[in-house]
Structures are given as C-alpha cells and as structure tokens.
Amino acid sequence: MMSNNSNTASRQFVPTPAQPAPNMSAGFVAWVRDNLFSSISNSIITLIVIAFFVSVIPGIIDWAFISATWSGADQSACNKEGACWVFINAWSQQLFYGSYTDGELWRVNLCLILLALTVISSFTLPKSFRLKLSIPLFLVLPFICIAILDGRLLGLEYVDTDYWGGFSLNILMAAAAIIISFPFSFLWALGRRSQMPLARSISVILIEFFRGIPVLALFFMGSVMLPMFFSEGTNVDKLIRVWLVLIFFMSGYMAEVFRGGFQAVPKGQYEAADSVGLSYWQKTLLIILPQVIKVSMPNILATFVMLFKNTVFLLIIGIPEIVQTLQTALSNSNWLGGWAIEGYVFVFLIFWVCCFGMSLLASKIERDLDTDKRD
C-alpha cells in the first residue's frame, strides 16, 4: 500500500490483487458463525427462534394451502381442517367495491387509476413545472372522483354513497381526506407561526383539538353529533360528514408535519425572498411552500399510512369499508359457518402489503433527501 501511494504521481495506479479470504471467514459457514452463533447467548437465541419457526410454520402452511378449499360455489364445499378461500372468492367483489352498481365498477377503477397517475406524475414530471401542475391536479382530484363515482354531474347513472364501499373506499377516503387537508393544514401551520396573537391561538387550539382526541370519538361526532349541528331540514350525507371530520383530523396532524417542514427551511430563504421584495403570500407560496413539501414528504407519507390504517375504524359507525363488509358477510345466513379467520387474514394481508409498500417508499424518499442535503 505504502509503495503504491508514493508512486501514484509517476505511473498509473495498479492495485495489487486482493488476498484470498482466510479460511473460514467467507462463505456460508463463516457467515452463519459470525451472524448467528457469535457467542453462547447468541447461539441460544438463534436456536430458540429456529425452533419456534419450525414448530409453527408447517401448521400454517397446511391450513392455508394444503388442506384449504379454493373453488366452489358456497360454504358446503369447505371443510373445517383447512382455510375456506371460497368465502373470500365469493365475497371478493363486495370486499373491494362494496355494493357499487355492478356494471359501473369501471368508475371506481378509473378513480383508482387517476389517483395512481396523479401520484406518479408528481414524481416524474419535469421539475420546472412539477409543483405548478401536480398541486392543482391533486386538489381537484377528489372532486373529480366524487363526480365520477356519484355520476349525476357527468350524466352517468347515479350511485348513492350508501353503495360505495369495500377496500376501494378505504383507499379513496384516505386519499381524499389527506389531499383536502393540505390547504387547511397549511393555513393552520402558518397561523401557528403567525405574529398575530389571535390567529396563532386559534390555530393552536384547532391543531391540538383535532390531534388530542381519539379518531373514534371524531367518527362518532361525525355520525351522531354533526347531524344536530346543521340547521333543521338540511341533510348532509353520512359519508360526506365523515369525510369532513377526517379532513379536519388530518389537518391537525398535517399542520404539525408542515410546521416541522417550515422549521427545516433555512432562514436565509425567507430573508432572500424578503430582500427581493416579494409579498408575504408570494414568498410563502412560491419560495417556501415547495421546499416545505419536499422536506416533509416522508412525514406526509407516514401520516397517510396512519390515516389509511385508521379508515378501518369507519366500521364502528357502519360505513361499509372492507372490515365492515367482512362482518356483514360473516353474518349472512348462508355463510354462517364461522369463516372469520379467513376473512381477517385476507384483510390483514391487503393492509400489510399496502402500508409496507408505502413505508418503503417513504424511507426511499428520505434517503434521497439525505443525499440532496449533502450536495
């Protein structure tokens, strides 16, 4: 090494070929020794863990695959030894789309695709107009989706909100709530940083209120208390009421996310914007907001995952999201065989895949941001 270094100026750097690894420090056996059996306590833990998996996994595989029933028309095809995937199969449309009118399912799919496209576009559009385009896109998306799903405005067949449901409702509800919460939370976060004492205290109260009470209580408010608040004779749809409640719930959380984002933006940015004579709103919207959104991205995703998981609680107030649909299915007199485990395992898996995917995405964005900072 030393000799190489001293000569680099005069001739090309030629590394000496690497020494072969000493016996037993590479390869599988060595890896196992280093990572699994490096000490006595480690070995014991390793053995316990392996023993646990060996005793549990075969039973699960047998239940889920080998003895399971995959095809059939009703529960008479199933046996008690294995899983009855027939149940999931028969109810799959309900579990995904709720009772949405049969021939109109393309509308739900369209909304899901639009959502996916908007999300993808906000990552892939050219940087020059990415924010200018994707923020308005996001903000109109929920209303477009409502128009598509509802159908009256577009001259399609009218589908009442009572028929919306299933897993698609979990996704769309969560997305619609977090998107519309953006402007509110942004305003509240600004208010919390504002110099105006009243505006600040009102923002703090709103944020702390919606963060401080359980989401279940909020849903109850949406379903039981809100109808009392509207003037007599006005009737706001239950789904819309819950959506409103969710928006405010989310605004509380997102306001805190944005507050963190505001604090992460260097002071010089504010001062630079002030020095070129931008007004407050120009400064906030054009200079600060884009940076805040960028910095907050991992937290926004994490908050979305939280909200997405919380949509399950909608079942407590009888909104036919996926778990509610599952419970409806379990209480149908033709399916009274007790197929709860199959149902919950299925829901378990769906949620896990979605949430895990999003948390992977969040940590990837976080890593990308980290490298940005180092540049």
Site for another protein in 184-243 (CB under 8 A): 184, 187-188, 195-199, 202, 209, 211-217, 220-221, 223-225, 227-238, 240
Q: Of 133, 193, 359, 361, which lies in the binding site for another protein, with binding defined by CB under 8 A?
A: 359
User: CB–CB of 135/75 below 8 Å?
Assistant: no
DSSP 16: P
At 234, which amino acid appears? T
Closest CB 18 distance from another protein, rounded Å: 24
Contact with another protein (CB under 8 A) among 83, 98, 111, 177: 98
| Residue 49 in contact with another protein, rule: CB under 8 A | yes
Residues 281-340, interacting with another protein (CB under 8 A): 305, 309-310, 312-313, 315-318, 320, 323-324, 327-334, 336-338, 340
| Residue count, binding to another protein (CB under 8 A) | 93
- Angstrom distance (rounded) from CA 166 to CA 160: 15
Distance of alpha carbon 76 from its chain centroid, rounded? 38
Residue 102 in the binding site for another protein (CB under 8 A): yes
Return the residue matching tokens 């033709």.
Answer: 334
Instruction: Supply the minimum distance, in Å, between the C-beta of residue 339 and another protein.
Output: 10
Q: How far is the CB of 264 from another protein (least distance, A)?
A: 15
Q: How far is CA 366 from CA 16, 141, 296, 361, in A?
A: 38, 26, 9, 9
Which residue lies nearer to another protein by CB, 118 or 310? 310
Q: Are residues 149 and 159 in contact, defined by beta-carbon separation less than 8 angstroms? A: yes
Give me the sign of the Cα torsion angle 234, 237, 238, 239: negative
Residue 344 in contact with another protein, rule: CB under 8 A: yes
**Closest to another protein by CB, 121 or 194:** 194
Binding mask 134-163 for another protein (x = CB under 8 A): --------------------------x-xx
- Residue among 145, 235, 147, 247 at smallest CA distance from 188: 247
Distance CA 4, CA 14 (A): 8
Q: 215 or 292, CB closer to another protein?
A: 215
| Spatial distance between the Cα atoms of 271 and 327, rounded to a whole number of angstroms | 57
List residues bridging with 69 in a β-sheet.
Answer: 84
Among 90, 137, 169, 246, binds another protein (CB under 8 A): 90
Question: Nearest approach, Cβ of 82 to another protein (angstroms)?
Answer: 14
Shortest Å distance, C-beta 256 to another protein: 9
Least distance (Å) between residue 110 CB and another protein: 20
Token output for 188: 């509240």
C-alpha 33, offset from chain centre = 39
Least distance CB 229 / another protein (angstroms): 5
